[in-house]
Amino acid sequence: MRLRRVSQQWMAAVVLAAGLLFLLSTARAQTTITYFDEPLAPYGYWVEDPYYGRVWRPRDASEDWRPYTYGRWVYTSEYGWIWVSEEPWGWVVYHYGRWVWSNRYGWVWVAGDDWAPAWVEWCYGGGYVGWAPMPPDPYWQGAYYYGSYECTSPAYYSRAVFVSQAYFASARISAYVVTPSQNAVAARATVNVTNYSRVGAGILNRSIDVAKLQVATGVTIRPVRVVHANGPIAPGVASPTLQELRIFRPLVTRPSLQSARPPLNLDPPGSTFDSSRTLDAGALPPLDRTNLGDNSPPSLGGVSSPALSNPIGGSLGGLRGRLGR
């Protein structure tokens, strides 16, 4: 009888602990999601996905739109390869959270609170460079992440963007992307070269070897200096002769469970900003247009992207460990 009572108490404790963990994880997800609600509100809407929960969709993107397509890759000393978007909401959704393919909604964004130069996995070889959104639950080996996809698997190439290595450093990558129906061919000789590392409070993306790329293409790639901005950067095509890259990297602070919404902390690690400054998400500062040079940004009222073939459907749910085998 005593053994049964102990067993029942033990089971009750397990159930209680599981319930608490669920509540805490739910609360964490909600604080992360609602943090970016107002900055993203003009450009899309939130929907409830049966697998991923509350996710964001861009409003005026075409049906065959893909993430990490409209912009360019810029190599920097501080963070390695950074994705610089032409889309007005790019400062959020390409540097925080993950993009996943939803069977119900297509491409959707799962919110996150960790900034990175980009959240993609890389494949390189045979004259091509490819990148595809990283799974929402990537497995880090200590301070490093080396990828989880096989490049030649449909799970990867159906969601990837490929370009010839000769055009990888172009100022507007969308002009050179491989037709998605040819992605399997482009991926045939590539291998996963994903290489991210956590250094202090930052994440470095060294996935594409600059020296190897320069030898293969004959194009000299000089690192661009990063300058931290006090507000979102105006979208547009960055100047081909970019000398410095201004980025907006707010630190997403996690509030107590009683707090309705966290402030935006504008002080990235190592910055010289006034550490007493915080900014509410509903009162963002004016757009910084420094990166654009002589290029004028598109209208901020919505985003319409050129037509591309639709990526193959299928759920990315539950991707852990090695994929595509």
Domain boundaries along the sequence of the chain: 36-292
- pTM over 0.85? The answer is no
CA dist 296 and 181 (Å) reads: 32
For residue 15, the model assigns a pLDDT of 41
- Amino acid 79: pLDDT: 95
252-268: pLDDT as tens digits: 765 443 333 333 333 33
- Band the pLDDT of 224: cuts 50, 70, 90: very high
Other beta carbons within 10 Å of 53: 14
Neighbour tally for 64: CB within 10 Å:
14
Pairing outcome for strands 244-247 and 225-228: parallel
For the beta carbon of residue 104, count every other beta carbon within 10 angstroms. 13
Longest dimension (CA), the chain: 82
Residue pointed to by tokens 């998400």: 281
If DSSP codes are grouped into helix, strand and coil, which group holds residue 121? Answer: strand
Cα separation, 102 vs 136, whole angstroms: 12
Q: pLDDT tens across 69-103, in order?
A: 999 999 999 999 999 999 999 999 999 999 999 99
pLDDT interval class at 60 (50, 70, 90): confident
Q: CA 141 to CA 59: how far, in whole Å?
A: 36
Q: What is the residue-wise DSSP string for 151-212?
A: TTSHHHHTT-EEEEGGGTT-S-GGGSBPPGGGHHHHHTT-EE---EEEETTEEEE--S-HHH
Which of 58-67, 99-108, 312-321 has the highest average model confidence (pLDDT)?
99-108
Distance CA 213, CA 127 (A): 10
Q: Which of 29-33, 123-127, 131-135, 246-250 has the lowest mean pLDDT?
A: 29-33
